[in-house]
Amino acid sequence: GAVVSQHPSWVICKSGTSVKIECRSLDFQATTMFWYRQFPKQSLMLMATSNEGSKATYEQGVEKDKFLINHASLTLSTLTVTSAHPEDSSFYICSAPPRGGTEAFFGQGTRLTVV
């Protein structure tokens, strides 16, 4: 299957700072990538859709100015959590379907802890 790599696997940051998470499709091109957030013992909640060459689209209730998404190329999307607060601590996971595909391949996830 296709490989999606996410970096870093875990990060600890101080309140008020920003953190960037990268999501790369290693062996296929992805015009679209998806960002999810998962709180402990909960399901995956879709945050936003990252679109190569255009603006990201955000799900209801997700602040676009807080969660900045940039889809720089056909293999890279980044999520920047700005002015992080402890309540932003969560597991962030990206997924990408190969172009024209339906199946979603997930990155390893990033455990963000804001202290």
Partner 1 sequence: GENVEQHPSTLSVQEGDSAVIKCTYSDSASNYFPWYKQELGKRPQLIIDIRSNVGEKKDQRIAVTLNKTAKHFSLHITETQPEDSAVYFCAAPLAGSGNTGKLIFGQGTTLQVKP
User: Is 28 near partner 1 (CB under 8 A)?
Assistant: no
Tell me how far apart the alpha carbons of residues 36 and 13 are, in angstroms, rounded to a whole number. Answer: 20
Strands 4-7 and 19-25: antiparallel
Which residue in 71, 107, 112, 114 binds partner 1 (CB under 8 A)? 107
Binding residues among 65-104 for partner 1 as defined by CB under 8 A: 91, 93, 95-97, 101-104
Which residue in 51, 70, 80, 108 binds partner 1 (CB under 8 A)? 108
Which residue in 17, 29, 42, 73 binds partner 1 (CB under 8 A)? 42
Nearer to partner 1, 27 or 103 (CB): 103
- Residue pair 90/66 in contact (Cβ under 8 Å)? The answer is no
Q: How many CB atoms are located within 10 Å of the residue 61 CB?
A: 7
